[in-house]
Each structure stands twice: as structure tokens, then as C-alpha cells.
Structure 1
Amino acid sequence: MIPARDKNWFGHPRGLTILFLTEMWEMFSFFGMRALLVYYMTKHLDMGQEYSSLIYGAYAAFVYFTPVFGGMVADRWLGKRNAVMIGGATMALGHFMMASEPLFYPALATIALGNGLFLPSLASQIEGLYRDGDPRSKSAYNIYYVGVNLGAFLAPLVCGTLGETYGWHWGFAAAGFGMLISLVIYLAGARYLPPEPARGGAARAARPPLDRAARDRFALLIGIAAIVVVFRGAYEQVGNTIALWADSGVDREVAAGWTIPMTWFQALDSLIVFAFTPLLVARWARLAKRGVETPWLGKMAFGAAIVGASYLMLALVAAWCDAHGTRASWIWLVGWFVLMTTGELYILPVGLGLFGRMAPEGFRATSIATWFFAGFFGNLLAGALGTLWSQLSHAWFFTLIGAVAGMAATLLYMLGRRLGDVESHGTAGAAMALAR
């Protein structure tokens, strides 16, 4: 009799479908709450814009920080399944706590702590679904990433609409129920998931020592991560000052009597990822067949430059609107999302793949943790930059953010020119993981 976890759905182990749906609903929960957060603080809690941006940046930063330690706790003590269940239940509790104003800060901390256990423990189970050499494993993370973006796409449309139309607490409640659905799916499909790996001393004994070459590789990754921190200072304005501009600086009226809900624009990023990822992957494949292979850091520099250009475009639009005393058409905001997300696809997935490839054998989780740290410090920087939104004109603010992204592009380009093919400095097999 074939074990349950070896049976297939859609050409892949059934466990991949379970993980796909679990993560989709977790992303629905996470991004649903995020789409409402800055509006909830400024419109319902009457917080100042500068303070709200700092809180948003700090919360988003700790969402990247807690998985570093949550993964260690899961690997050494709890195990992946227990970590997913405890983390998911903790996140659901945090979302429901958002319904009470006095529990606002504890709710944010609760969600961030639960995420720390849930995020690394769920994605790291994918590898155990496939035997060594199974060619299907190469596309497994791509399929899983579709679930990530599907949840992120639906969240602003559902939670955002409920929050804007019926009250912010309804949107937060929908996010909480999304997290509960995620847990139910995970528990119902547990028999299709891989068995728990060794933990504690047995796992540490199997890990090879960290030699000088591996240390040099980590030093290089830390340098790249430091530049990505600068880039994220610009990129992470999406749910912060860009959301505020969608409310106050954009004419969202489409037809008489109907205006696009401001939270809906937060769904565009994932929608464009769906549409553009296959096109970019196909283009890179065609170039590779012709022997044209763009260096990793070259792609990342190009992506950061596109993001910088997208903000400079907004600066010109905002300057024109200020000069004429009007608001920007919603079409400009859609165009910005198209341009910005195109740049995102050149830097964030590529950078994640680079960190996976350059990870020394036995230290892949540590390498991915370095990537999470870049998200942590980058969100802190984004929150600090966001405090300038009320102090500068919109045109000058967007110019500043464009310059920050341009600085990251320049540093990545210079590092790429200095190192040449960064993979020549040592790689250790392809690996992938989840990046928000």
C-alpha cells in the first residue's frame, strides 16, 4: 500500500497541495491585516502620520526578525508541525485581539511572534515531500509561491473592502478567520506531510564544520544583505506612504457614484507578480539558450534602478498635481505598481535564490536567516523614512525615496563589477525559500 504522503495530486505529492492552501490562507490573513493597518492607525486611532509610519515599519521589521529565532526553536525543540500549529493559533489570536483598541500593541506583538514560528516551519517542509533526485522538486517552490501571491491578492479585496465599508474590526476579523482556515487545512492534511526530521543534538552532529571558504561566502552575503537593506527602505513604502497617497493624493473615482477602495491597490503587486513572472522566466530562459547570462548582481542592480525610476515618475506626477492644485489619476498609481513590481521581480526573488545557492552545505537556514535580517533592518529604515511624508511635499518625498533605491542600484552594480560572476566565489546547490 502506498503511504499517504507518497500519493499525488496534480502531478506532485499531496502534501504540496496542503502546504499551498495552508500558506495561501496564512497570506490572506497576513496581508489582509497589513492592508488595513496604516489606515486603522491614522483614521480610527487618530495617530499622527509620523508615529504611524514608525509603528508600521517596526511591526513589519519584526515580522522578518522573529522567523530567525522561530526556525531555531522549531529545529531544536518544538518540531515543524508543533511550531506551525502553535504559531498559527498565536497569529489568529493576535488578529482577533486587533478588535480591541487597548490591545493594539499586544496584538501586533502576538502576530509577529506567531509568524516567527509559522513562516520558516511551513516552507521548510516542502523539501521533505520529494526523494533525492526527483525532478519535480525544482518547480515545487514556484507552485508554493503561487499560493503566497494568491492569498496576498485576495486579502486587500476581501479584508480591505470589509474594513472600509463596514468597519476596520470586520476586516481584522476576516483576517483572523483566514488564519483559522489555514490551521484547519494543515491539520486535516497532516497525514500527507513528511515526517519530522531529527532535532537537537542529532541534527547538529550531522552538520559539517564552517570552514574559511564558507566564512568568506557568508561575509559576501552579509555585504549584499546590507545593500538590500537600503533597497527595502524604498520598496517597503508600499503599505505605508504609498497607501497614504492612495487615500489623499489620488483621484480614485472611476464612474459617477463609484470610487475604487483605497485598499484594493495593495492587491496589484501580487496580480502583477502572477502576470509578469512567467514572461520574465521565459525571457531569461531564451537568453540562457543563446549563451547570454546576466550576472546575479547585475539583475539585482537593474531591478533596484527600475524601482528608483518608478518613484521618480511619481515625483513628477506629484509635482504637476501640486502645481495645478489637483489630485493624480488612479491610472498613474496602477502604472507605478506595474513598474515597481517589475523591478521587484529582478531583485527580491533573484536575491533569495542567490542566498540559497551560496549557502554552505548544512548552513542553508542560516543563509536564509541573513536574508530575513535584511528585511528586518530594511523595514526599520522604511519606517524612519516614512516619517518624512508629512514634512516634505509629496514630490520631494518621492524624489528622496527614488534616490534611496538608486543608491542601492549603484552599490549593487559596483559590487557586481568588482566581483564579476558572484557565483564563482562558491555555491552549494540551488535552494529556495519564502520571501515577503
Structure 2
Amino acid sequence: MMIDAPRKAWFGQPPGLTILFLTEMWEKFSYYGMRALLVYYMTKQLLFSQEQASMVYGLYTALAYLSPVFGGMLADRWLGKRRAVILGGAIMAFGHFLMAFDALLYPALLAIVLGNGLFLPTLPGQVGDLYQRDDPRRGSAFNVYYVGINLGAFLAPLICGTLGEVYGWHVGFSAAGIGMLLGLVIYITGRRHLPPDPPRSERATLPFSALWQPAYRPLLQLMAMIAGLIVVFRLAYEQIGNTIAIWLDTGVDRVLTADFTIPMTWFFSLNPLLVFLITPLLVRRWTRQARVGREPAALTKMAIGAAVVGLSFVLVAILGGEPSAKVGWLWAALFFAIFTFGELFILPVGLGLFARLAPVGFGATIIAFWFLASFGGNLLAGAVGMLWSTLSSTVFFSLMGATCMLVAVLLLRLERRARPLLAGNAAPAPQSAAPADGAVTSG
């Protein structure tokens, strides 16, 4: 069921998008705030070895992208999106506060993973339900939503990280928990602006076998191919927190004055900050294009994004930045600017496309499989990052650039093949389902 929201709201979008934006912002504040402190906490407070801390951190972040697959199924089949968001957020907040006790590290991480599994696929699954099928604003809705993710990610290290380092790790973890509670309060008080869930009796008539109806197979095959390309793309994209971090440390001259050297972690604030600054410009442009029928297709946008991210890696490859010949810090800032511009064309657009294609009654499940691609990409990125120690930075980043360019070419080819399939606005409803729960938004 769609809600007839007023035309005028933030960025000209329905009020419900602002509620979802703020909820997601505080959830990401809590997640990234805790993540920024986790390795330091394990090695400095709990005295874990670096290897043990790395193993725990890697498993935790991987499971954070795997659990939404099961959480999305639970939301679609039994809980409904609203209850899944509230329950998931409450479990995550509980997990953050458990971090105040050294002996409860593993139960705390497990609680956050389980809560995240319910929360992550269901909140974005509600974005598409805010719009009618012919609403030109829906093409940019996920980019506005994506700002919330990155605004929370920008604030988290600055606030939770500073509190944790200055006043104690548990204070930083508590700040993350408070952020999650704020997000829950915003969601609950603003739920009147959000689309209602269908009755449980209607959700119960949608067995998972309904996804395998012949009418859905072309869509599911298309989404599987897109997800596969996203896994390959993230193999390069996720180097932002891995080998790029090493490059910033060893290959970039960060000396600003005789008395001040730019901390390498500051560069990572550029990515979410630029997302916040660039997104409104893209939203306005794409909305104007949609109104006159000239907005690029979703897969075309994604191909552009992959190519631009590839160019950012090519720039680093050309610069080199070996320890013996460091590059200036402005080049590093330029890398982040190009990288972020490309990111905005592919990741939020792909998320919106999956929401648009989701069969009615399976919105959260399909969104969860989008995040499963992130899980696979993150694992591959870690394995590929091990090549850093055996290759020069020029060769390594050239390979990352080539990987993104290959994904761009394959996305363009896929767009031409899938154009007839994507001509509709959403997947049809199963015959046994009422048209109430579908996510209908365009990339």
C-alpha cells in the first residue's frame, strides 16, 4: 500500500523519507562509531594479539552483511518491516551497551549482528513504498537516503572515536548505543509518515517458493548477474579501507606545516562528507531529467559509476606514491573526490534498482540479497588485498582500476540486453498476494 504523502518536504521528497533518513543516519552512527573503536579496544583494553583482533573484526563485519539475508526473510514472511526495524534496532542498542563489559564482547557482537540482520534490509525496503509508480522523485530517493548513511559514518569516528580515546572505550561504545536509541525514537514517533505493513495473514500466503514462479525467473536471473558484478566491483571498492589506508600512511606526504601533519584517518572523513555535498546536486539533476524523460537508465548510471571509481584507482596507479617518492596530500584528496563521485552512481542506484525489481511481498528479502553481494565482495577484497605485499602500488592499483572498468563494460552490455525487461516499473505481484508490500522505486 502506498501512502499519499505531501509533495513538499525535504529535497521535495515525502516526509517519510526524512524519517527513514534520520533513522538510518543514527543507526550508521552507532555501527561505525563502535567499529572505529573495536580493534583498538581489543588490542589495548583486552590485550588481544593483532592477529586475533583482526580475525574477530573480519568475521564480525562479514556476518554483518550475511545476517540480513535471514533477517529479510523473517521480515517479509512473519514480522513485517516496521516490527523488524524496531526489534532489530532494540537488539543492536542492547549489544552496544553490552560492550561496556569486557567479558561480554562476543555476546555483544552477536547481538549487534543479529539486530543488524533485521534492521539493514527492512529500512531501505520502505523507501520505495513511499512513491507512486509514476512519481519522478523516486529515481533520486535512494541517493537522498544514502546521504543519511554517510552523514552517520562521517560523525561516528569524530564523536564516538574521540570519546573513546579521551574518556575511555566504554564511553565511546555508550555513545554508539545512545545513537541507536535516538534512531529508534525518531522511527517510532515518525511512523505515521511511513507506509503500513500488510496484515500478517497476507504475508503468510507468500511462501518462498512463490519467488520461483516462471514469471519471476528473468528478473531473478538479472538480479543475480547484477549482484555478481557488484561482488567483483566491491573487490576493488573495498580497498578504500584496506590498501588505500596503507597507501595514505606510506605513500602520501601529509605534512601541512612544519608543526602539523595531517592524520591519515582524516582522509576517510572526505568520503562521507563528499557524499553529503554531492548528492543534492545529483538528486536535482536526475529529478529534472526524469520529468522530461531523459534520466539515464539505472544500469547505465551504475556503469558510469564503476568507470569513474576505476579512474580514481588509475590516478593512484599513475601517481605511484612509493615510500621513497611520496605524493602530495592534495592528490589523495583528489582521489577521494573522484572515488566518491563514482560511488554515488553505482551503490545507491543499485540498491534502488533491487528495491524496484523486488516481487511484491519479498522486498526485504531481495534487499537482503543485495547486501549478500557486499558480503562476498568484502571477503574477496580482503583476499585480494594480500597481493599488496608482493606487487608495486602502481601494478596493484592498475589492477583495481582495470577491474572496475571491466565491470563498467559488462554493466553496459547487460543494460542493452535487459532493457525490455526493465521497461516496467516493478515486478508483478504473486497471484496469491495482495499488492501491499512491494518496494517500488527506480534506480
Equivalenced residue count is: 427
Contact kept, 8 Å, 1:21 with 1:185, in 2: the verdict is yes
Match of 1:351 in 2: 350
Which structure 1 residue ranges, 5 or more long, are not aligned?
A: none
Q: Could you list the per-position Cα deviations for residues 166-217 of structure 1 after superposition, in whole angstroms to 9, with x for gaps in the alignment?
A: 4444433321221122223333444554444222555535997744342122
Query: Shift of the alpha carbon at 1:92?
Result: 1.8
Query: Shift of the alpha carbon at 1:91?
Result: 1.2
Say if 1:289 and 1:119 are closer, same or farther in 2 by CA, change over 3 A: closer
Give the AA of the match of 1:422: A
Q: Could you list the per-position Cα deviations for residues 12-46 of structure 1 after superposition, in whole angstroms to 9, with x for gaps in the alignment?
A: 66544433322221121112223344555566666
Match of 1:406 among 394, 402, 406: 402
Query: Shift of the alpha carbon at 1:228?
Result: 1.1
Tell me whether 1:333 sits opposite 2:332 in the alignment.
Answer: yes
Find the aligned partners of 1:299 and 1:193 in 2 and give their Cα distance: 28
TM-score (norm 1): 0.80
Match of 2:175 in 1: 174
Contact kept, 8 Å, 1:51 with 1:387, in 2: the verdict is no
Say if 1:19 and 1:363 are closer, same or farther in 2 by CA, change over 3 A: closer
Query: Shift of the alpha carbon at 1:232?
Result: 0.7
Higher alpha-carbon deviation: 354-363 or 221-230: 354-363
Look up the SS of the partner of 2:256 in the other structure.
strand
Match of 1:307 among 278, 288, 309: 309
Find the aligned partners of 2:301 and 2:17 in 1 and give their Cα distance: 30
Match of 1:96 in 2: 97
Contact kept, 8 Å, 2:93 with 2:178, in 1: the verdict is yes
Matches within 5 A, 1:177-188: 177-188=178-189
Match of 2:267 in 1: 265
Look up the SS of the partner of 1:85 in the other structure.
helix
Match of 1:230 in 2: 232
Say if 1:308 and 1:129 are closer, same or farther in 2 by CA, change over 3 A: closer
Match of 2:217 in 1: 215
Tell me whether 1:376 sits opposite 2:383 in the alignment.
Answer: no
Match of 2:66 in 1: 65
Find the aligned partners of 2:33 and 2:76 in 1 and give their Cα distance: 29
Q: Could you list the per-position Cα deviations for residues 327-356 of structure 1 after superposition, in whole angstroms to 9, with x for gaps in the alignment?
A: 554333322211211221222123223333
Contact kept, 8 Å, 1:88 with 1:115, in 2: the verdict is yes
Query: Shift of the alpha carbon at 1:116?
Result: 1.0
Match of 2:420 in 1: 424
- Taking only the aligned residue pairs, the percentage that are identical comes to 54
Contact kept, 8 Å, 1:90 with 1:114, in 2: the verdict is yes
> What CA RMSD, in Å, does the superposition of the two structures yield over aligned residues?
4.0
Look up the SS of the partner of 1:254 in the other structure.
strand
Find the aligned partners of 2:415 and 2:124 in 1 and give their Cα distance: 31
Find the aligned partners of 2:92 and 2:218 in 1 and give their Cα distance: 37
Contact kept, 8 Å, 1:224 with 1:412, in 2: the verdict is no
Match of 1:276 in 2: 278
Higher alpha-carbon deviation: 398-407 or 132-141: 132-141
Find the aligned partners of 1:186 and 1:381 in 2 and give their Cα distance: 35
